Amino acid sequence: DTSPSPALARRPFLHDGGWDSTHRYFLTAANNSNKIAVIDSRDRKLTALIDVGKIPHPGRGANFIHPKYGPVWATSHLGDGSISLIGTDPQKHAQYAWKKVAELQGQGGGSLFVKT
C-alpha cells in the first residue's frame, strides 16, 4: 500500500523536501503552515512536525554536521531571510532530534533552495 497515512494527508500543502543523512527520514515542507514534516520511511509514520520560518522552501535541503548539534538538515524560506537548522540524529543527539536547533539569518528577503 503506497497511500499516505491519514496524518500526512491532512498536512496543508506538502511541497518539496529531502532525506536526512541516513536516508531513513524524509523532511518535507508543509509550507502553508510554516512547518517541516518529518516522515519515517521505514515505519511510514509522521515522526515530527516542526515550526520553522515563513513559507519553508528547502528544495532537497542540506545535510551537514554541526559542531554542537551533530547531524542537521537545513531549509531556507520564501517568506523571510532565515535558514532553519533541524537536528536529525535520534541515536547520538536525541535532545536535538526533530527540533529546530538554530536559525541563521540570510542576506536577503527569502530564498528558494539551500545546498551543501
State how beta strands 25-30 and 35-40 pair. antiparallel
Per-residue confidence band for 101, with pLDDT thresholds at 50, 70 and 90: very high
Helix (H) or strand (E) holding 72: strand 70-76
Q: If you ran DSSP here, which 8-state letter would residue 7 be given? A: H
Per-residue confidence band for 8, with pLDDT thresholds at 50, 70 and 90: low
**Tens digits of per-residue pLDDT, 12-70?**
657 788 999 999 999 998 878 899 999 999 999 999 999 999 988 888 899 999 999 99
